[in-house]
Structure formats: structure tokens, C-alpha cells
Amino acid sequence: MTTFDNPVFCALDTAERARALELARQVSPAVGGLKIGMEAFYALGRDGYEAIAETGLPIFLDLKLHELPNTVAGAVRALAPLSPAILNVQASGGQAMMEAAAEAAEGRIRIIAVTVLTSLDDADLAAQAISGGAREHALRLARSAREAGIDGVVCSAHEACAIKAECGADFLTVVPGIRPAGSAGDDQKRVLTPAAARAGGADILVIGRPITAAADPAGAAQDIQLSLAA
Ligand code: C5P
């Protein structure tokens, strides 16, 4: 299932169209794909999405859908003409919701499910009365996604290997919370370096601020690419 030669997807988290397009243009030679999330999509709309997609890179549309099964299925169908390579839903929306999303995609988009946000740790989950901690909960949600016919999950690099072992080598693991050695953690709590994440079973590395907030985004993306080739 891992068909992305370069596993790095750069997260274009900005509400400014010109900045999004400039970043996409700058980083495109050194990344395997682009991630368009809520901030960019809600601010720039389908038109902005299409302009970014003109780079020709695969797009991960990170809208984290979470609604009634029928509504999520409708949303997947409404987004299908944009042809994202990957679209995601929240695993916590439940098995029926994930099944509806997978069915609505008709094999044309890889639907993946968010397990546990990498900004959350065990204490945050305990505060929500979720037992077992982040790792156990992520595995629980990944199993449910697999059973629902979902193509993979968004998870922490710390769980990617265990998820692959349980759900199969072809079950896509998309991993945010990546920080090159020496860079700031920002609001991410469970971080790993790009190389450590790949070694830990991550198929796709979602990397935002270490690239987009760098003085030289193209250079930062290239350095990450080189660190993976080493
Ligand atoms: O800037 P940074 O590298 O932290 O960006 C990570 C990206 O991954 C953000 O766009 C964020 O929305 C996304 N993400 C995440 N944790 C998840 C799912 C997505 O950080 N579980």
C-alpha cells in the first residue's frame, strides 16, 4: 500500500492563499505530498485547494470528519471531485461512520481514521475518562478502523509499529508529531525524528512547522529528505 516514494507530506497550515501557494511551490521538489487541513481548506475553499493541487503532488485532505454516518458519507461524496489521495475521519465517530465513509469513497480515495491526536498524552485521555492510555486507545481505534474497511490511520510514531503488527503491513500509518533533531516541539507532546518515525513503521510523515516556519522551507524539506536517505 505504500506507494509514496518520498514519505514526507508537508502540512500547509495557513489561511493565506498566496502563502499556501508559495509554500507549495517551494517545497514541492523535496516532498512526496501536501496536506491541506481545516485552516487552509476553510479559509481558501475548493478554489484554493485546486490551485494548490496544480503542483501535481498527491494531497492529503485532513478535515477529520466526525458526524452521523449518512452525513459523513455525503461529505466524502461531495469532496470526491477534488480527488484527494487521502481523506480522513475521526475514528471516535464509530464503526458505522467509518464504514459509511469507506463505502462512499468507492475505492477512489484512501480513507484513513484519526486515532489519538499527537497533542494528547495519557493524562489528557484520563481526564476524558478514556482508559488504558494513548497507546492502548490508538490500537483499539485502529482495530475498529480496520474492521470498518478503512485504509489506515493517523497515529503517533510510537504506535505505528504495533498498529502494523495488528492490522497488517498494508494498513497505512500516517504520522504527525515529527520533529527533526534539535527543533521545537510546539504543541506536539509525542514527537519523534523523521528517521525514527520511519524506522518505527510510519508510511507517511506529516510535517508542518519544522518546514513551513523555517527561514528556508525548501532547504528544511530537503534536509529532512536527506536525513531519511542517510
Ligand atoms: O506543524 P506540525 O508538524 O506540528 O503539524 C502537524 C500537522 O499534523 C498539523 O497540520 C496537524 O493538524 C496534523 N495532525 C496532528 N495530529 C494528528 C492529526 C493531524 O498533528 N493526530
pLDDT tens readout for residues 42-56: 999 999 999 999 999
Cβ of 188 below 6 Å from ligand 1 = yes
Q: Which residue, 1, 2, 8, is CA-closest to 229? A: 8
Structure confidence at residue 188 as a pLDDT band (50, 70, 90) = low
First to last CA, the chain: 23
Catalytic residue among 35, 64, 164, 189: 64
* Residue 41 confidence (pLDDT) above 50: yes
Question: Which string of DSSP letters, residue by residue, matches the chain?
Answer: ----SS-EEEE---S-HHHHHHHHHHHGGG-SEEEEEHHHHHHHHHHHHHHHHTT---EEEEEEE-S-HHHHHHHHHHHGGG--SEEEEEGGG-HHHHHHHHHHHTTSSEEEEE-S-TT--HHHHHHTT-TTHHHHHHHHHHHHHHHTT--EEE--HHHHHHHHHHH-TTSEEEE--B--TTS--TT-SS-B-HHHHHHTT-SEEEE-HHHHTSSSHHHHHHHHHHHHH-
For atom 5 of ligand 1, which residue has the closest CA?
Answer: 208
Q: Name the band, by pLDDT with cuts 50, 70 and 90, for residue 121.
A: confident
Mean pLDDT to the nearest integer, 9-38: 98
* Least confident segment among 1-5, 200-204, 222-226: 1-5
Asked if residue 133 has pLDDT above 60, the reply is yes
CB contact set of 224 (below 8 Å; sequence gap of 6+): 8, 30, 180, 194, 205, 207, 210, 211
Residue 26 has pLDDT above 90, yes or no: yes
Label residue 111 by pLDDT band (50, 70, 90). very high
* Backbone torsions φ then ψ of 27, nearest 5 degrees: -90, -15
Q: What is the pLDDT of residue 160?
A: 94
Select from 114, 120, 206 the residue to mutate for testing ligand 1; criterion: most ligand atoms less than 8 Å from CB: 206
Annotate 107-134 with b (16+ C-beta within 10 A) or e (fewer). eebbbbbbbbbbebebeebeeeebeeeb
Q: What pLDDT is attached to residue 51? A: 98
Q: Can you tell me the mean pLDDT for 29-52?
A: 98
- Residue 124: its pLDDT value, please? 93
State if residue 27 touches ligand 1 by the CB under 6 angstroms criterion. Answer: no
More reliable by pLDDT, 188 or 78: 78
In whole angstroms, give the CA distance from residue 18 to residue 36: 14
Active site residue 35: no
pTM for this prediction: 0.94
What is the percent of the chain where pLDDT is above 70? 97
In angstroms, what CA-CA distances link 107 with 63, 74, 164? 18, 15, 21
- Residue 176 near ligand 1, beta carbon < 6 Å: yes
The confidence band for 1, taking pLDDT boundaries of 50, 70 and 90, is very low
Report pLDDT for 152: 98
C-alpha 176 to ligand 1 mean position (Å): 5
Ligand 1 atom with minimal separation from the 156 CA: 21
Evaluate if residue 125 carries a pLDDT over 60.
Answer: yes
| Ligand 1 lined by 63 (C-beta under 6 Å) | no
Nearest atom in ligand 1 to 210's CA: 3
The protein residue with its alpha carbon nearest to ligand 1, atom 20, reads 176
Residue 185 predicted with pLDDT over 90: no
Distance 40 CA to ligand 1 centre (A): 13
